[in-house]
Amino acid sequence: MSVVHKFTGNKNIYDWDGVVVKAYEEEFTGVTRQVLIGEQDKSPNYEIRYFRLEPGSHSHKEQHPHDHGVVILHGRAKVQINETFQEVGPLDVIYISGNDLHQFVVLGSETLGFLCTVPANR
């Protein structure tokens, strides 16, 4: 069902109407996940999530069959894709193919925030 999730946050905390803030993975502190478009909207093809990583934190180093389409919204990160490392910042676009090893590590004192699209079936 079509829906508008109005942005209700501010430049420090991103929030949206009708979107809950979830923990990322149990053992990870400083990382949250908000599903902006997904199962709750009956989106059959893809999910669009917003991830927020506090300074000093990082995402899990992971490798899996599904791909990621990432757009950085704020902050800076060192992104690892297989054996390569690259610094990224606001509005940089990162496509991580399925089965490529990847990790985001926050750089500097600013909170990292990015959109991450994944296939619905994964």
- Residue 72 CB-density burial (10 A; 0-12 exposed, 13-18 middle, 19+ buried): buried
According to CB under 8 A, which one of 26, 27, 83, 91 is a site residue for a copy of itself? Answer: 91
- Nearer of residues 17 and 29 to a copy of itself, judged by Cβ: 17
Q: d(Cα 77, Cα 10) in Å, to the nearest integer?
A: 21
Residue 42 binding a copy of itself, by CB under 8 A: yes
22, containing H or E segment: strand 21-23
Residue 63 binding a copy of itself, by CB under 8 A: no
- Nearer of residues 30 and 89 to a copy of itself, judged by Cβ: 89
Contact between residue 78 and residue 89 where contact means Cβ atoms under 8 Å apart: no
Residue 41 C-beta: closest distance to a copy of itself, Å: 5
Residue 111 C-beta: closest distance to a copy of itself, Å: 15
